[in-house]
Amino acid sequence: MILQGKRVALPATPVVHKRFEAHAAATPDAVAVFCAGQQVTYAELNARANRFAHFLTARGHGRGAKVGVCLDYSTDMVVAILGTLKAGAAYVPFDPSYPAARLRLLLGQVPGLALIVASPATARLVESAAVEIVGVEQLTDHLAGLPVTDPETAVTGDDVCYAVFTSGSTGTPKVTAVRHEGWYNLLNWLALEYRLGRGSHNLVVSAFGFDLSQRSLMAPLFCGATQHLMASRNFDAAMAYRMLREHGIRTVHCASSTLYLLVDWETARGGEVLSRLDYVLFGGEPLKVERIVDWARREGNTCTLLHQYGVAECTDVATSYDLAEYRPGEHDTAPVGRPAYNTEIHLLDERMRGVGAGEYGEVCISGAGVGAGYLGGTGPDSERFTTVVIDGAPRRLYRTGDRGRVNEAGDLVVAGRMDAQVKVRGMRIDPSDVERALGRLAGVREAAVVARYTEAGEAELVAFLVPAGADLAEDDVRPRLLETLPRSMVPARFLNIPRLPLSPHGKADRAALVDRLKGL
């Protein structure tokens, strides 16, 4: 089963910052970035970024170098990112709100990191790490004598533009690299398909470390539109909603859970600002459609909700679905739609053969977005990048580990992980299916299900329940679950827990849950 995205020709050298430079030349006085009451035009931003690029090149950090950026959202951050790209180097975002120990751990994971741009406060946090620190003040004070002209580099679409951290199956953060061609293709698809362009305004609401934030940061500058940045380290619903209203924002890119908070805000306090946006592009975690459906169907809501799917290893977004087409069924998962331009989705079985129509298989991605792989990585996860032959020609392919199928309408539906499947008494079970069933029971606020092996070597399921009120008793939950699930899918044990431990990316930390089972 293959879903084929539209074929759209890219320029011979699809390099992202060249699009920004073209806007700087064509509309120099248009506002590029608005932050903390100050605005910067395309011409000013381009000149500042060029100076930083010449600074990097003069120090030998040109094509192929890796430059860390550890700054809060600000014009300086955008200067550092664009300057790095213009020098031919790749940037690596570091969230300055992370604790010092985690920042140092992450810094050590990037092989050949040339230097890191940091504010004075962050510089203190990471000073013991073996990496050169460039103070953010250098972006303004010390570069005055350097040229403001666009640097000439030999960068091609195959060069790395950024690299972000992913948690990976081993729990150790890995840094995965994205190529210019893939990022150009993604941004070009968004620009053409959703007519983003000059006069449009975007607000960044996600944390800097995420792949979606790289897209949200660059999309307006790729289109000649205006970028708005919040002076906040953490998502702030009150501030975001106020900025949506006062700044005439048209687009927001966010995680599903951030969309819920914005919807809650508008629903509780009244208002039509969110409902009148052009687009919210969201995804990154399974959608709880009940959190947004009442708001989405309200009269006068003209916001197009694009439910998207992808992985950082393949440049962030691979598919998109207009949620207006969705009619929720009872045990249904909202689709994630069709592939981006120049992108193919394959559904394959364990032996890399295509599954039949409607059948579940592993979601695999080929096309322009397939990234350059993990930096310095030869671990087991590197094997997820492989090669397949399509129409007689070899193509790179990435196996996501996600489990999906194509529905009757021809849209991709993603449900759970391949590697999360366990065999219990011979039955193949996906714990996320059990979690969904538990989540629908009255009295259950959240649920996580993990597998463990008994001394006899048999797998059994254990459910962790976050009760909505009083603790839940096993003999209350089990019969209710048996009404919707076959016996093989009903967990052996049920444990109450005040809240689920979360990974640094805000997802349920399964390893921590498995740890809790030791000695039980």
Partner 1 sequence: MIAERVRGIWCRELQLDDIAVDDDFFALGGQSVIMAKIQMAYIDELDVEVPVDQMFLNPTVASISEYIESMGAKTT
Residues 6+ apart with CB under 8 A from 227: 32, 33, 34, 78, 202, 204, 217, 220, 221
Cβ distance to partner 1 smaller for residue 20 or 265: 265
Which segment (151-159, 257-265, 304-312, 338-346) binds partner 1 by CB under 8 A? 257-265
* Cα distance between the two ends of the chain: 44
Site stretch for partner 1 (CB under 8 A), options 154-162, 235-243, 387-395, 451-459: 235-243
Least distance to partner 1 from the beta carbon of 119, Å? 15
Spatial distance between the Cα atoms of 388 and 395, rounded to a whole number of angstroms: 5
Count of alpha carbons within 13 angstroms of residue 298, beta-carbon side:
16
Which listed range, 78-86, 184-192, 200-208, 230-238, lies at the site for partner 1 (CB under 8 A)? 230-238
Q: Of these, 38, 234, 302, 454, which contacts partner 1 (CB under 8 A)?
A: 234
Report how far residue 132's alpha carbon sits from residue 116's, in angstroms, rounded to the nearest whole number. Answer: 6
Q: Is 232 in the site for partner 1 (CB under 8 A)?
A: yes
How far is residue 199's CA from residue 226's CA, in Å, rounded to a whole number? 7
| Minimum gap (Å) between residue 498 Cβ and partner 1 | 5
Query: Closest CB to partner 1 among 360 and 464?
Result: 464
Within 13 Å and on the Cβ side, how many CA atoms surround 389? 3
Q: Pick the closer one to partner 1 by CB: 238 or 482.
A: 238
Contact 90, 68 (CB under 8 A): no
493 binds partner 1 (CB under 8 A): no
Q: How far is the CB of 506 from partner 1 (least distance, A)?
A: 8
CB 429 within 8 A of CB 459: no
270 vs 426, beta carbon nearer partner 1: 270
Nearer to partner 1, 239 or 495 (CB): 239
* Interaction of residue 239 with partner 1, rule CB under 8 A: yes
Does 517 engage in binding with partner 1 (CB under 8 A)? no
* Angle subtended at Cα 201 by Cα 200 and Cα 203, rounded to the nearest 5 degrees: 150
Cβ of residue 267: shortest distance to partner 1, in angstroms? 11
Cα torsion 49, 50, 51, 56: sign = positive
User: Taking Cα atoms as reference points, which of 202, 209, 208 lies closest to residue 167?
Assistant: 209
The footprint of partner 1 on this chain (CB under 8 A) covers a number of residues equal to 19
What are the Cα distances from residue 156, in Å, to 64, 89, 224, 228, 423?
11, 11, 22, 29, 46
Q: Print the binding letters for residues 291-330 with partner 1: x by CB under 8 A, - otherwise.
A: ----------------------------------------
Q: Work out how close the CB of 97 gets to partner 1 at its nearest, in angstroms, rounded to a whole number.
A: 8
Burial class (CB in 10 A: 0-12, 13-18, 19+), 9: exposed
Using the rule CB under 8 A, which residue among 30, 131, 237, 289 binds partner 1?
237
Which is closer to partner 1, CB of 265 or CB of 321?
265
Among 18-26, 231-239, 427-435, 473-481, the segment contacting partner 1 (CB under 8 A): 231-239
Judged by CB under 8 A, does residue 121 bind partner 1? no
For partner 1, the closer CB: 113 or 244: 244
- Rounded Cα–Cα distance for residues 316 and 202 (Å): 18
The packing angle between helices 211-223 and 75-86, to 10°, is 80
The answer to the question of residue 257 lying near partner 1 (CB under 8 A) is yes
User: Which lies closer to partner 1 via its Cβ, residue 210 or residue 398?
Assistant: 210
> Residue 87 and residue 50: Cα distance in Å, rounded?
8
**How far is Cα 164 from Cα 185, in angstroms, rounded to an integer?**
18
Residues 266-295 as x/- pattern, contact with partner 1 by CB under 8 A: --xx--------------------------
**How many other CB atoms are there within 10 angstroms of residue 240's CB atom?**
23
Coil, helix or strand for 111?
Answer: coil
233 binds partner 1 (CB under 8 A): yes
* Shortest reach from residue 359's CB to partner 1, in Å: 36
Binding to partner 1 by CB under 8 A, coded x per residue (else -) over 159-198, reads ----------------------------------------
What DSSP letter does each residue of 46-65 carry, written as one string? HHHHHHHHHHHHHTT--TT-
The H or E element spanning position 183 is helix 180-193
Least distance to partner 1 from the beta carbon of 91, Å?
A: 24
Which position among 138, 167, 264, 505 is part of the footprint of partner 1 (CB under 8 A)?
264
Residues of this chain that bind partner 1 (CB under 8 A): 232-239, 242, 257, 260-261, 264-265, 268-269, 469, 498-499
